[in-house]
Amino acid sequence: MEHPIITIAELPQHVGRKVTLRGWVYNWRKKGKIRFVILRDGFGYLQCVVFRPEVPEPVWEAAVALTRESSLQITGVVAEDQRAPGGYELKVSDIVPIQIAPEYPIGKKEHGVDFLLNHRHLWMRSRRQHAILHVRAELEQAIRDFFHGRRYTLIDSPILTPAACEGTSTLFETEYFGEKAYLSQSGQLYLEPAAAAFGKVYCFGPTFRAEKSKTRRHLTEFWMVEPEVAWLRFDGLLDLIEEFLSEIVSRVLDRCSEDLERLERDITVLEPATRRPYPRLDYADAIAALADRGHPAEFGDDFGGDEETVLASLHDRPVLVTRYPTKIKAFYMEPDPGDPARALAVDVLAPEGYGEIIGGSERISSYELLERRIAEHELPRDAFEWYLDVRRYGSFPHSGFGMGIERCTSWLCGIHHAREAIPYPRTINRLYP
């Protein structure tokens, strides 16, 4: 056959020509001697028109036999037509069914969350889920390009670890040749030594938290990107976060307009985030701002979801909340030289109630202080000797942050729940599919 096999994305270049496409039946409609088959091939959707008087009877019968999500190869002439969704349609001349699907579980009307998550492997075929996961993929590529373009070295951190990285969260425990091992809850500690080896590094991988969280922002397995930079001080970290966020948001807005449109995402609320600077809010000022708005909080309190939403709503773009009290932050965070009760820590709160998408800090560079903090937090010293080595052999100021991919994707897509922002969500009571 001389006609080419193409994807739906390539349609505009083949108007008036005969082509073959391969894909799945997204939906079909019939009206007498006309059948409309909506083809889905992963790149788009295409209305294919089968007109009984113009095709051989076996082709008509093949069209009649098609069910939703049956796989097929279909051939016809590409035509522009205002009546077709998307503006193009295929005047079908041949159909080769590959497999006729039985009754498809996911209907055209609404479904419940539990049902959809039980069918996540099929749900991702739907337009909305396809758009979300496509945005996620673009976001991840933007992140990799951001760091690679700035000569960061990718350091893959281990998943299996001997002990708690931060000692606070619950860890998934597993058996490792007779010893206990834990699934990593952060790659950061492993990146600090790498920063001494490569200067600028980042890791990007899955992270595990065994907390029994049941909120729209939590997953037990999620993806996190964590850069770590030698010689970077706190102010420089805040600049890096701004540069990073504004660039990746711009990239997604630039390349995912169709997806965001399908998700009915209001682009104008994301656009301010493409512009610097971002507002910076000192923790003490955040406390005061909350009190003014009927959310009394005392110095030393951490912020809950409601408080985060109030603080984020003060601005039109992500807000950097800085210099939290030392005692509510991780053991490795550098104290503020001007106020040792505060840590050089930053949380980035996304607008519209999407909450904390980034957490970062300058790290302690003093061997003695880090040693003391490990003791204060009652962490097993033996398990942290290698970490102390970073301060023992050529200690240096350094900073870094971590960003949760699902929370960022949720914010960009304007979706309700982080579980839609990951292909196969893992939550407290979901390990299937």
Shortest gap between Cβ of 350 and RNA (angstroms)?
9
What kind and span of H or E run contains 135? helix 127-149
Q: Which residue, 259 or 347, has its beta carbon nearer to RNA?
A: 347
Q: Which residue, 306 or 385, has its beta carbon nearer to RNA?
A: 306
Closest CA to 270 of 408, 147, 140, 406: 408
On the question of a cis peptide bond just before residue 433, with omega within 30 degrees of 0, the verdict is yes
Shortest gap between Cβ of 50 and RNA (angstroms)?
10
Shortest gap between Cβ of 59 and RNA (angstroms)?
16
Closest CA to 283 of 363, 340, 345, 236: 345
CA-to-CA dists, residue 345 to 166, 280, 319, 388, angstroms: 15, 12, 13, 20
CA-to-CA dists, residue 335 to 97, 106, 300, 346, angstroms: 66, 53, 15, 12
Q: Which residue, 233 or 262, has its beta carbon nearer to RNA?
A: 262
Shortest gap between Cβ of 177 and RNA (angstroms)?
28
Shortest gap between Cβ of 61 and RNA (angstroms)?
12
In sequence order, what are the residues at sequence separation of 6 or more whose Cβ sits closer than 8 angstroms to the Cβ of residue 49? 34, 35, 36, 76, 89, 90, 91, 92
Q: Which residue, 68 or 150, has its beta carbon nearer to RNA?
A: 68
157 close to 400: Cβ distance less than 8 angstroms: no
Q: How far apart are CA 42 and CA 84, in angstroms?
A: 18
Q: Residue 379: how many CB atoms within 10 A of its CB?
A: 18
Q: Which residue, 5 or 428, has its beta carbon nearer to RNA?
A: 428
Q: Which residue, 236 or 353, has its beta carbon nearer to RNA?
A: 353
Q: Which amino acid is at 279?
A: P
Q: Which residue, 6 or 220, has its beta carbon nearer to RNA?
A: 220
Shortest gap between Cβ of 63 and RNA (angstroms)?
12
Q: Which residue, 138 or 406, has its beta carbon nearer to RNA?
A: 406
208 close to 170: Cβ distance less than 8 angstroms: no
What kind and span of H or E run contains 288? helix 283-292
Shortest gap between Cβ of 296 and RNA (angstroms)?
14
Q: Would residue 136 be called left, alpha or beta, if left means φ above 0 and alpha means ψ between -120 and 50 degrees?
A: alpha
Q: Which residue, 103 or 368, has its beta carbon nearer to RNA?
A: 103
Q: Which residue, 53 or 338, has its beta carbon nearer to RNA?
A: 53
Shortest gap between Cβ of 79 and RNA (angstroms)?
8
User: Distance from CA of residue 117 to its chain's centroid?
Assistant: 17
Q: How far apart are CA 203 and CA 152, in angstroms?
A: 10
Q: How far apart are CA 182 and CA 322, in angstroms?
A: 31
Shortest gap between Cβ of 429 and RNA (angstroms)?
3
Shortest gap between Cβ of 328 and RNA (angstroms)?
7
Q: Where are the alpha helices (DSSP H) in 150-256?
A: 188-198, 234-255
Q: How far apart are CA 118 and CA 137, in angstroms?
A: 22
